[in-house]
């Protein structure tokens, strides 16, 4: 008789374990819905970026001067002859100070709010040209300042450039294949070959702003209202301060670490700029949180089934396998409820409402089965505690694995306690 009871209990554990694994099917469907909604959100971000402004890289300013040099060209008789040729030589500023402010805002697209930014930047510094030599012959009458902007259509206002204290007109092109899109202006180089400049730029963008520390000595100070920056690129800030109201960061870069010479002859080959980069990082979107919760789905459904099994062992009642399946389906719908509500409510509120709905529904279902108020309240309290724990796991990015491991250990301890007296050897007493 004891052996039959043991077999029945073992079989019951195996079937319920199989039911737990079977719950991966509805969870997979919920997961596919989460990814669909995430893709809609990503599409909305791309559409906003195209119209507002995408990832901005601001490079410059550069001073470009005509260079005269001797070259050999073919004449009318197809013979090589020495002649004066022209090229463009690019000079970097000896000093560059960048002061910037970044203000984020949101743009509505369908039901989605997309974060974007508007930047106010000032580039100030000095160009100092070397003296003309036989090896470096410059035509100072043909000089211009060029400035690279990835998305010129996202310029909020017309940039203002002052050279040697005088405002100059800008054109909407760089005319430089090595730089790409941007603006340029004709420049008059003083006799002392020192050209101070000041450039004010107001540029819109989204996701990322990259600045190029191209000066012999470059100092960058950037302030922003976004509280979750992600610094990347070739140069990380030497100092930064992040608060709930935004961040402030400082970069200092010298000529020996910038990868570029002080001047070079321009070519058709493009040059990569943007060494100091900051991204308006979204820590975790609501879709990512729900997706992460779905990945814990089988674990929390199994823990709920374990709670029902422990109740069975303690009360002598038996739930039907169909009732386990219905309970598992309800727990799977929790993630769909949290997802749909999070598109219209803050995630905390959406998660709380979804938890109350599922907890109340399953608590009522258990009461309808057992006709025991205490039993239904106990199961509902266990489910509420489980999903409160899940919320902690979702919000603790750095400690999610550690917290999840302790949840598993707690579930194992509960299982050990519930099954400690499933079988007693003949001639022994419980607790001996």
Please spell the DSSP secondary structure of 303-353, one letter per residue. HHHHHHHHHHHHH-----HHHHHHHHHHHHHHHHHHHHHHTTS-HHHHHHH
DSSP state for residue 180 in the 8-state scheme: -
Beta pairing partners, 243: 246
Residue that has been written with the tokens 């901005």 in this structure? 56
Pairing of strands 56-74, 137-149: antiparallel
Assessment of whether the complete model's pTM goes beyond 0.75? no
Distance CA 389, CA 307 (A): 15
* Residue ranges covered by each domain of the chain: 2-41+286-418, 55-68+83-280
SS3 10: helix
- Percent pLDDT > 70 in the chain is 84
Structure confidence at residue 428 (pLDDT): 46
Whole-number average pLDDT of the chain: 81
Q: Which of the listed ranges 32-36, 59-63, 107-111 does the model predict with the highest average pLDDT? A: 59-63
Distance CA 140, CA 126 (A): 16
pLDDT tens profile 1-19? 445 555 666 777 787 778 8
Structure confidence at residue 419 (pLDDT): 64
Q: How far apart are the first and last CA of the chain?
A: 23
Please spell the DSSP secondary structure of 69-110, one letter per residue. EEEEEE-TTS-EEEEEEEEEEEE--SEEEEEEEEEEEEEEET
Counting runs of H as helices and runs of E as strands, what totals does the chain give?
Answer: 8, 16
265 against 393, higher pLDDT: 265
Any idea which architecture 55-68+83-280 has in CATH? Answer: Sandwich (2.60)
pLDDT surpassing 70 at residue 292: yes
Distance CA 256, CA 216 (A): 8
pLDDT tens profile 410-421? 767 766 766 666
Distance CA 325, CA 337 (A): 18
Structure confidence at residue 133 (pLDDT): 66
């Amino acid at each position: 008789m004891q052996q039959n009871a043991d077999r029945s209990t073992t079989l019951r554990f195996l079937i319920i374990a199989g039911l737990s694994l079977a719950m991966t099917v509805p969870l997979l469907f919920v997961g596919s819905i989460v990814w669909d909604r995430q893709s809609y959100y990503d599409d909305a971000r791309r559409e906003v970026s195209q119209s507002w402004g995408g990832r901005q890289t601001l490079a410059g300013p550069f001073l470009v001067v005509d260079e005269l040099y001797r070259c050999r060209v073919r004449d009318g008789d197809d013979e090589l002859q020495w002649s004066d040729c022209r090229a463009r030589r690019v000079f970097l500023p000896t000093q560059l100070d960048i002061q910037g402010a970044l203000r984020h805002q949101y743009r509505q697209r369908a039901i989605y709010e997309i974060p974007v930014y508007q930047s106010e930047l000032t580039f100030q510094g000095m160009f100092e040209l070397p003296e003309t030599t036989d090896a470096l012959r410059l035509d100072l009458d043909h000089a211009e300042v060029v400035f690279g902007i990835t998305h010129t259509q996202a310029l909020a206002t017309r940039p203002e450039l002052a050279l040697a204290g005088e405002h100059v007109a800008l054109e909407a092109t760089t005319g430089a294949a090595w730089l790409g899109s941007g603006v340029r202006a004709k420049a008059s180089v003083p006799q002392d070959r020192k050209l101070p400049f000041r450039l004010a730029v107001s540029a819109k963008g989204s996701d990322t702003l990259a600045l190029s520390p191209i000066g012999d000595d470059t100092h960058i100070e950037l302030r922003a209202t976004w509280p979750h920056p992600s610094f990347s690129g070739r140069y990380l800030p030497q100092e930064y301060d992040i608060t709930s109201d935004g961040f402030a960061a400082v970069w200092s870069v010298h000529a020996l670490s910038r990868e570029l010479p002080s001047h070079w002859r321009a070519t058709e080959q493009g040059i990569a700029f943007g060494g100091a980069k900051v991204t308006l990082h979204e820590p975790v979107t609501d879709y990512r949180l729900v997706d992460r919760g779905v990945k814990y789905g089988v674990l929390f459904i199994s823990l709920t089934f374990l709670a029902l099994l422990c109740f069975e062992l303690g009360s002598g009642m038996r739930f039907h396998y169909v009732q386990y399946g219905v309970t598992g389906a309800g727990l799977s719908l929790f993630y769909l409820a949290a997802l749909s509500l999070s598109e219209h409510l803050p995630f905390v509120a959406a998660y709380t409402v979804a938890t109350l709905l599922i907890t109340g529904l399953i608590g009522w279902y258990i009461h309808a089965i057992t006709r025991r108020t205490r039993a239904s309240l106990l199961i509902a309290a266990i489910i509420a505690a489980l999903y409160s724990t899940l919320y902690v796991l979702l919000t603790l990015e750095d400690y999610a694995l550690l917290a999840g491991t302790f949840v598993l250990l707690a579930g194992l301890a509960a299982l050990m306690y519930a099954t400690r007296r499933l079988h007693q050897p003949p001639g022994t007493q419980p607790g001996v």
